[in-house]
Structure 1
Amino acid sequence: MARLQVFDTKVERVRAAFEDLRQETEHSIDLLGRIASAETAIDEAELDIENSRLAEAIRRQEAILATAADLVLRLDEATGDTAVALDGIKRFTRLEHFVAFFSMRKARRMQHTRTMKHLFSARLEELLSKSGEILHVLEGERALARREQQKAEADLVRLIERRKGTASLLDLAAAQAGDAGLFAEEALLERSTSMFRTLVESLNDRLASLQTLLAKLAVDGRQRLFLCRAVEGWGLAGVGPEVAGDVHAAGGSEQARDIQRRKARADDAVARRFGGVLEKLDTSG
Structure 2
Amino acid sequence: MAAAKAGFLYIGDVNSVYIPHMTHKTLQKGQFMSQSQFDEMVRASQAKVSESQQKITALTSRIETARAKISAGEDASIDIENATLDDVHAHTEVMNANIAELIMGLDDVTTAFSKDFDEMRSKTGWESFVGFFSRGKSDSMRQERMRTASIDDKLQDLIAKSDVIVKLLEGQLATLEDQREKVQVNLSATLEDREFTVQELEAVRAEIVALDPQIIELENKISVEQDAAARTKLETELADLNAKYNAMVQDEQVKLAKSQTLERYIEKGKTWVDSLQNQAATQMVLINKLQTDTAQRVVLYDALTKSLKTAQQQDVAHRINEIGVQTDKEAQTAMAAIGTATNQKMADMLESHEDNMVFARDVLEKKAKADERFARRFAAIVEKHDKNLYGG
Q: State the TM-score bracket (shorter-chain normalisation).
A: 0.7 to 0.9
Shift of 1:59: 1.6
Shift of 1:128: 2.6
Kept after mapping to 2: 8 A contact 1:69/1:213: no
Cα distance in structure 2, aligned partners of 1:277 and 1:103: 56
Q: In structure 1, what residue type is equivalent to 2:86?
A: A
Cα distance in structure 1, aligned partners of 2:309 and 2:103: 31
2:307 matches 1:275: no
Note the 1:97-176 alignment, pairs <5 A: 99=131, 103=135, 106-110=138-142, 112-113=144-145, 120-175=151-206, 176=208
Match of residue 237 from structure 1: none
TM-score, normalised by the number of residues in structure 1:
0.72
Relative contact order higher in (CA < 8 Å, ≥ 6 apart) = 1
Which has the higher mean CA deviation after the structures are superposed, 149-158 or 38-47?
38-47
Cα distance in structure 1, aligned partners of 2:311 and 2:48: 48
Match of 2:81 among 48, 52, 56: 48
Note the 1:184-263 alignment, pairs <5 A: 184-226=257-299, 229-230=302-303, 233=306, 241-243=309-311, 249=317
* Structure 2, gaps ≥5 residues long: 1-15, 20-32, 209-247, 344-392
Residue by residue, what CA displacement relative to the aligned partner does 1:100-121 show, whole Å, maximum 9, x if unpaired? 99645641413654997x9854
Cα distance in structure 2, aligned partners of 1:262 and 1:91: 20
Cα distance in structure 1, aligned partners of 2:72 and 2:332: 46
Question: Aligned to 2:122, what secondary structure does the other structure show?
Answer: coil
Match of 1:3 among 18, 37, 51: 18
Cα distance in structure 1, aligned partners of 2:146 and 2:95: 42
Residue by residue, what CA displacement relative to the aligned partner does 1:215-246 show, whole Å, maximum 9, x if unpaired? 22112211442366358748xxxxx9454985
Match of 1:71 among 89, 93, 102: 102
Match of residue 181 from structure 1: 254
Residue by residue, what CA displacement relative to the aligned partner does 1:46-80 show, whole Å, maximum 9, x if unpaired? 2222x24x52144212322332133112311221x
**Count of residue pairs the alignment pairs up:** 266
Cα distance in structure 2, aligned partners of 1:28 and 1:153: 14
TM-score, normalised by the number of residues in structure 2:
0.55
Cα distance in structure 2, aligned partners of 1:245 and 1:74: 32
Identity of aligned residues (%): 22
Shift of 1:40: 7.3
Kept after mapping to 2: 8 A contact 1:14/1:67: yes
Query: What's the C-alpha RMSD, in Å, of the aligned pairs?
Result: 4.1
Q: In structure 2, what residue type is equivalent to 1:38?
A: S
Cα distance in structure 1, aligned partners of 2:173 and 2:332: 20
Cα distance in structure 2, aligned partners of 1:40 and 1:271: 48
Cα distance in structure 2, aligned partners of 1:41 and 1:15: 39
Which has the higher mean CA deviation after the structures are superposed, 142-151 or 104-113?
104-113
